[in-house]
Amino acid sequence: MDPGKVTVIDNGVNTNLFNGEADTGPLKKELREKNRISFSDTTMFISSIGSLKPLKNQIFLLKAVKRLYEKYADAEVDVVFVGEGPDREMLERYSAEAGIKEYVAFLGRRDDIPAILSFADALVLTSIPDKEGMSNVILEAMSSGVPVISTPSIGTSELIADGKNGYIVDYNDTDDLCDRIYAMFKDKSARNEMSREARSLIKRKYSLDKMVWTYEKMYLRFFEK
């Protein structure tokens, strides 16, 4: 096929909805009361959003959190899992057995993702590499100004510039993920810069307006022929 006849149209995200400025008051109140999460200025909050199933490999994140608290005495990191699935019971059991239950909350299915991403400091995705396409939740997180730490997957390298707007970690390398989380926790200034870079990229290349404009351009070219 002639490459000149192929148009690649990336997914678009609503940058007005996912802007990092959603009302987090009701959500934080719920988390304090139901999940006993205290919102400290020094704590970094990680979100993990997606079905709790083997493909998503969330156990990798929990192992990294366990390693984090073993390795770094000054670490203050909490993890919020959003989603349901067959692995939930196993993940909750591991959290308790590993001694990290106090740092982990399971929220189940939610429809307030913009609010969750508005208080999250980072999104961590641990999926098995190259088993999924470009993840919409990465687009939503970056649009919200949330830097992403992710395993390599289809489309990830187009979104995440390692060390600039997030990190790409080696699959199932617990120390690599642990160290990247700690680096993001420790250097808030660098994390804030990653946040700005993440949102800037999405607004430039992956907004709904950009996607619609690309479709319009393609159809106009087609009808001109």
Per-residue pLDDT, averaged over 130-143, amounts to: 88
| Confidence bin at 134 (pLDDT 50/70/90) | confident
Structure tokens at 222: 């087609």
Give pLDDT tens digits for 156-185. 888 999 999 999 999 999 999 999 999 999
Starting from the edge strand earliest in sequence, which strands make up the sheet with 77-82, in order? 104-106, 77-82, 44-49, 122-125, 148-150, 166-168
Q: Would residue 146 count as lying in a domain?
A: yes
Give pLDDT tens digits for 68-122. 999 999 999 999 999 999 999 999 999 999 999 999 999 999 999 999 999 999 9
Q: Would residue 2 count as lying in a domain?
A: no
Its pTM surpasses 0.85: yes
Q: Would residue 40 count as lying in a domain?
A: yes
Question: Residue 2: its pLDDT value, please?
Answer: 45
Residue 30's CB: how many other CB atoms inside 10 A?
13
Residue 114's CB: how many other CB atoms inside 10 A?
21
Which position has the token pair 């100004």?
145
Non-local (6+) Cβ contacts of 207 within 8 A are 12, 13, 14, 15, 143
Quick one: CA dihedral 35, 96, 171, 181, positive or negative?
A: positive
**Closest of 179, 184, 177 to residue 57, by C-alpha:** 177
Which residue segment(s) compose the domain that 24 sits in?
A: 15-224
Domain containing 139 — which CATH number? 3.40.50.2000
Q: Would residue 37 count as lying in a domain?
A: yes
Per-residue pLDDT, averaged over 122-149, amounts to: 92
Give pLDDT tens digits for 181-212. 999 999 999 999 999 999 999 999 987 665 55
Q: Which three-class secondary structure string do you get for the chain? A: CCHHHCCCCCCCECCCCCCCCCCCHHHHHHHHHHHCCCCCCCCEEEEEECCCCHHHCCHHHHHHHHHHHHHCCCCCEEEEEEECCCCHHHHHHHHHHCCCHHHEEECECCCCHHHHHHHCCEEEECCCCCCCCCCHHHHHHHHCCCCEEECCCCCHHHHCCECCCEEECCCCCHHHHHHHHHHHHHCHHHHHHHHHHHHHHHHHHCEHHHHHHHHHHHHHHHHHC
Q: Which of 23-37, 55-69, 91-105 has the lowest mean pLDDT?
A: 23-37
Which position has the token pair 């479709």?
215
Residue 192's CB: how many other CB atoms inside 10 A?
13
Q: Would residue 161 count as lying in a domain?
A: yes
Q: Would residue 6 count as lying in a domain?
A: no
Domain count, the chain: 1
Residue 70's CB: how many other CB atoms inside 10 A?
13
Q: Would residue 4 count as lying in a domain?
A: no
| Confidence bin at 221 (pLDDT 50/70/90) | low
Non-local (6+) Cβ contacts of 144 within 8 A are 18, 19, 20, 114, 117, 118, 120, 199
Question: Residue 130: its pLDDT value, please?
Answer: 77
Q: Would residue 216 count as lying in a domain?
A: yes
